[in-house]
Amino acid sequence: MKNVLTVFLSFLIFAGVSNAQNAAFSQYTLGSGDTVRITVYGQDDLSLETRLTDVGVVNYPYLGEISVLGMTVSQLETFIYDGLKGDYLVNPSVSVSIIEYRPFFINGEVKNPGGYPFQPGLTIDKAAALAGGYTERASKTKIYIDRTINGKQVTLNANRYMQILPGDIINIDQSFF
């Protein structure tokens, strides 16, 4: 009975973490460096793939320039759907997907600091591994993430197992011992 309870509690914790991560990505806002694909079913001339620049403007056929920085994927789908529906198409089937996320950056006490392609599920430990691993002087407790939340840059205290997001800047401090 104790084993069943342990397995059940483990499942609930895993499901909660997974749902929290999925919720974070459903609220993921587009930013410069992301590559998106916009597809309108049956309308090849309205489908495109583009990397977002610093300005974050997509020149979209029929609708013109669309500022997409800070929009979620579903908000962009709705915006394009509403713009095409009516005069141009009766009931457009619009799909927006992220082909490539913007990179994350890792600085400080890792062997190869710099920018790396983001992959869903990355933790700070995995990001450090991509950067060649921690140096001998790396602190495992003085880890900070610079992240943009609701348009504001914030610095978060982090631990090695914390999930990172696209565009994060991870800073690994030096330990004294």
CATH code, domain carrying 12: 3.30.1950.10
CATH number, domain with residue 115: 3.10.560.10
The answer on 90 and 39 residing in a single domain is yes
The answer on 112 and 58 residing in a single domain is no
The answer on 6 and 75 residing in a single domain is yes
Q: Which domain range does residue 77 map to?
A: 1-102
Using CA atoms, how far residue 25 sits from 34, 38, 70, 163, 166, in Å, is 14, 18, 13, 12, 10
Which pLDDT belongs to residue 151? 76
Out of 24-28, 52-56, 123-127, the most confident range is: 123-127
**What is the pLDDT confidence band of residue 88, given thresholds at 50, 70 and 90?**
confident
The closest alpha carbon to 103, from 85, 90, 119, belongs to 119
The answer on 60 and 128 residing in a single domain is no
The answer on 134 and 116 residing in a single domain is yes
**What is the pLDDT confidence band of residue 1, given thresholds at 50, 70 and 90?**
low
Give the Cα separation of 47 and 13 in Å (integer).
40
Give the Cα separation of 102 and 165 in Å (integer).
9
Q: Which of 61, 79, 102 is the last residue of a domain?
A: 102
* Mean confidence (pLDDT) of the chain: 85
Statement: residue 35 has pLDDT above 90 = yes
Q: Which of 102, 121, 147 is the last residue of a domain?
A: 102
Strands 104-108 and 169-174: parallel
